[in-house]
């Protein structure tokens, strides 16, 4: 086993929602960490909060990963062992309105990272993929063998293309890559010092729920109750962001310990549990003792009826398993909301 404390991990998008939680876990585990983030969807104070939690300071560059010259300079200054590439735009709806923006940011940043990883003898890359690559799976739970279906958004398309590009580039390269397909990341750090920072009115269920309970929004709309599920509302696999952060450490360890079975690997990162929207509402009310005003509305176009993961491959090969439950996810999101 390698000594992890000697290893340097460069984290793009490291001040974002999932990135900040991962940087904390890396620092606590003893890695040297370099964060690159252009603050397009984060705030500088997240950097101070990371230091407060971890009691250690990462190196920070406020740069755009699409700027190859700036990124090359960073790789010249530091010997990087593994890159975790979070930096991307992530709003499905916005990507339908502005597809080119999404292709430019999400693909050019990835191409730059691949070039720099290749040129600088980096051991490997961990890539943020998404369950969105499966669309609406025919068979549940979704395994890594579940086929991609044609993406309905430019966002989904960048994740499918991202995985395909990585597979091609690693097949003739000398470095390894692990793509992690996240299901629905929710929750916040137990200190309530870092969490998700949604801009404007949230699209995602969890921030919508907490902002409604807080009185910032009048009422939650449940998007459809006529699906073929236990209570008619959609089923998702919600995963605590701290469990998700730990999956990245497991992927780094696998690369550093040279345990990868192929140049490019993919793993589902979920809990394996499917939860409906109404179950989330009930659990939220029970956990927080707050009444959540909601109404049933129309289906949201593009929503899949049910998506949840078979994460047994990650358990077997990455030696990673989700440990936090829905109550932990709700409690931590609510505590974070109360600090905003």
For the segment 70-99, give every residue that binds ligand NAD (CB under 6 A): 86-88, 90
Task: Please tell me whether residue 64 binds ligand NAD under the rule CB under 6 A.
Answer: yes
Task: Check binding of 329 to ligand NAD (CB under 6 A).
Answer: no
118 binds, among ligand NAD, ligand WQD, none (CB under 5 to 8 A by kind): none
From ligand NAD, ligand WQD, none, which one binds at residue 300 (CB under 5 to 8 Å depending on kind)?
ligand WQD
**CB of 203 closer than 8 Å to CB of 278:** no
- Binder of ligand WQD out of 65, 277, 309, 314 (CB under 6 A): 277
Question: Residue 62 CA to chain centroid, in angstroms?
Answer: 20
Give me the 14-33 binding string for ligand NAD, x by CB under 6 A, dash otherwise.
-xxxxx--------------
**Does position 94 bind ligand WQD by CB under 6 A?**
no
Q: Does the annotation count 155 as an active-site position?
A: yes
**Cβ count within 10 A of residue 8:** 17
Cα separation, 252 vs 6, in Å, equals: 13
Distance CA 269, CA 247 (A): 7
Q: Which is nearer to ligand NAD, 202 or 232 (CB)?
A: 202
Longest dimension (CA), the chain: 56
Closest to 183 (Cα-Cα) out of 205, 209, 152, 153:
205
303 binds ligand WQD (CB under 6 A): yes
Angle, CA 44 vertex, CA 42 and CA 45 arms, to 5°: 105
Q: Determine how β-strand 275-276 pairs with β-strand 235-236.
A: antiparallel
Q: Phi/psi at 4 (nearest 5 deg)?
A: -65, -25
Options 11, 205, 244, 245; binder of ligand WQD; rule CB under 6 A: 205
Name the one range near ligand NAD by CB under 6 A: 40-48, 73-81, 133-141, 214-222: 40-48
Of 12, 32, 105, 130, the residue at the interface with ligand WQD (CB under 6 A) is 130
Smallest separation (angstroms) from ligand NAD to the CB of 80: 16
Among 175, 208, 334, 336, binds ligand WQD (CB under 6 A): 208
Binders of ligand NAD among residues 113 to 152 (CB under 6 A) are 128, 130
Tokens of 31: 């890695």
The span of 79-87, 134-142, 190-198, 201-209 binding ligand WQD (CB under 6 A) equals 201-209
| 39 near ligand NAD (CB under 6 A) | yes
Size of the site for ligand NAD (CB under 6 A): 27
First to last CA, the chain: 42
| Distance in Å, CB of 78 to ligand NAD, minimum | 16
Give the interface segment with ligand WQD, choosing from 78-86, 113-121, 199-207, 332-340 (CB under 6 A).
Answer: 199-207
- Which residues are CB-neighbours of 31 under 8 A, at least 6 positions away? 4, 5, 7, 8, 9, 252
Answer whether 127's CB lies under 8 Å from 166's CB: yes
Report DSSP letters for 70-135, one per residue.
Answer: HHHHHHHHS--SEEEE--S---HHHHHH-HHHHHIIIIIHHHHHHHHHHHTT--EEEEEEEGGGGS
Site for ligand WQD in 72-91 (CB under 6 A): 90
**Radius of gyration over alpha carbons of the chain, in Å?**
19
Q: Check residue 268 for interaction with ligand NAD (CB under 6 A).
A: no
By annotation, the residues acting in catalysis are 155
Binding site for ligand WQD (CB under 6 A): 90, 92, 130, 132, 184, 203-205, 208, 220-223, 234, 236, 277, 300, 303
Binding site for ligand NAD (CB under 6 A): 12-13, 15-19, 36-42, 64-66, 86-88, 90, 105, 109, 128, 130, 182, 185
């Amino acid at each position: 086993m390698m000594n992890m404390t000697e290893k340097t991990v460069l984290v793009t998008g490291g001040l974002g929602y999932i990135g900040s939680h991962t940087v904390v876990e890396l620092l606590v585990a003893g890695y040297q960490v370099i964060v690159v983030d252009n603050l397009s969807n984060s705030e500088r104070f997240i950097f101070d909060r990371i230091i407060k939690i971890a009691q250690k300071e990462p190196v920070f560059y406020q740069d755009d990963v699409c700027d190859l010259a700036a990124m090359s300079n960073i790789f010249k200054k530091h010997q990087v062992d593994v890159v975790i590439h979070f930096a991307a735009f992530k709003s499905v709806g916005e990507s339908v309105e502005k597809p080119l923006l999404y292709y430019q940011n999400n693909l050019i940043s990835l191409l730059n990272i691949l070039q720099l990883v290749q040129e600088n003898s980096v051991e490997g890359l961990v890539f943020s993929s998404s369950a969105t690559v499966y669309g609406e799976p025919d068979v549940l739970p979704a395994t890594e063998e579940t086929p991609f279906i044609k993406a309905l958004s430019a966002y989904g398309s960048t994740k499918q293309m991202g995985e395909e590009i990585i597979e091609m580039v690693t097949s003739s390269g000398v470095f390894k890559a692990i793509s992690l397909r996240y299901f629905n990341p929710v929750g916040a750090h137990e200190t309530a010092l870092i969490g998700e920072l949604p801009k404007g009115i949230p699209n995602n269920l969890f921030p919508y729920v907490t902002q409604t309970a807080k009185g910032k929004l009048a009422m939650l709309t449940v998007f459809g109750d006529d699906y073929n599920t236990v209570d008619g509302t959609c089923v998702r696999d919600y995963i605590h962001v701290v469990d998700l952060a730990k999956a990245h450490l497991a992927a780094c360890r696998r690369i550093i310990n040279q345990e990868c079975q192929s140049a490019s690997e993919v793993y589902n990162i979920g809990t394996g549990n499917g939860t409906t929207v109404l179950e989330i509402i009930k659990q939220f009310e029970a956990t927080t003792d707050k009444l959540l005003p909601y109404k049933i509305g129309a289906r949201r176009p593009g929503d899949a009826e049910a998506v949840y993961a078979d994460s047994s491959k990650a358990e077997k090969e990455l030696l990673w398993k989700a440990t936090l439950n829905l109550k932990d996810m709700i409690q931590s999101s609510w505590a974070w909301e109360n600090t905003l």
